Amino acid sequence: MAPVKIKHIVSYSSQDPKSSVENLLVGDSARPWLCSPQDQSGVLKVELQLDWATAIGYIDIGNCGSAFVQVDVGRSSWAQDQPYVTLLPTATLMSPAESRQGSNRTGVRMFKRADFLSLGADERWDRVRVTCSQPFNRRAQFGLSFLRIRSPPSVDEQEVQADGTGTDNPMSPEQPASKNIGLQVQEWLSSPAVQRTVFGQKMGYEISMGHTDVRMFLNLNVMLLQRKCLTCNYNCLE
């Protein structure tokens, strides 16, 4: 899931001189890319050249007043009149009510392969076109706070995710469920509460038990526990 660097801006439809489109090239920029104050078309576009041709696995979008966003992909070797391929179909960033009220302008959406159209997700691209729109409030400036693109997971990363290695997995392959039950039984038999019960103290009442009675009591409990574990074909007290 390596970050994909944006090499340069190919073209754009509009920008605010104080919040230019170049801010998208700076990963930690404090300034967004906004449309021009005079632009009331409600549509804002930018075409980006990536550092190398790659499949796209993830896109993180920081909003700044846009109601919708769409991402199309292409190649720098294509003719100018060749249409781009849609990778991320139109996605909602703000509701009509939020757009009119100016609330929730700076939300973040993180898109993954499952959100992409298969035609665009299965190929490598070095051009990305982002289209933002705000049809509900054309008097307000809008754009994006940031745009981050990442490649899909490598084969090793996919294997790690599949087998759960490196995660806090309480049921690892080396410890099957039956083995865990056996450990729990042993811990139960050695717990102070059980020891007190076996040796004559339970709920405040004194019970007199001799050594033979104690052994019989333990053997009986062991037999019962083993019978309960026959369904898993595992001797839990081994």
> Block means of pLDDT (10 residues each) for the chain, length 238 residues?
94 97 85 96 98 97 98 96 97 98 96 96 97 96 97 67 49 44 52 50 42 47 46 44
Query: DSSP secondary structure string, 124-188?
Result: -EEEEEEEEE--S-TTS--EEEEEEEEPPPPHHHHHHHHHTTTS--SS-TTS-HHHHHHHHHHHH
- 69 forms beta bridges with 91, 132
pLDDT at site 208? 42
The pTM assigned to this predicted structure is: 0.66
Q: And the tokens for 115?
A: 């959100």
List b or e across 61-78, with b for residues whose CB sees 16 or more CB atoms inside 10 angstroms: bbbbbbbbbbbbbbeeee
Measured in whole angstroms, how far is the alpha carbon of residue 114 from the centre of its chain?
Answer: 12
pLDDT at site 30? 76
pLDDT at site 232? 46
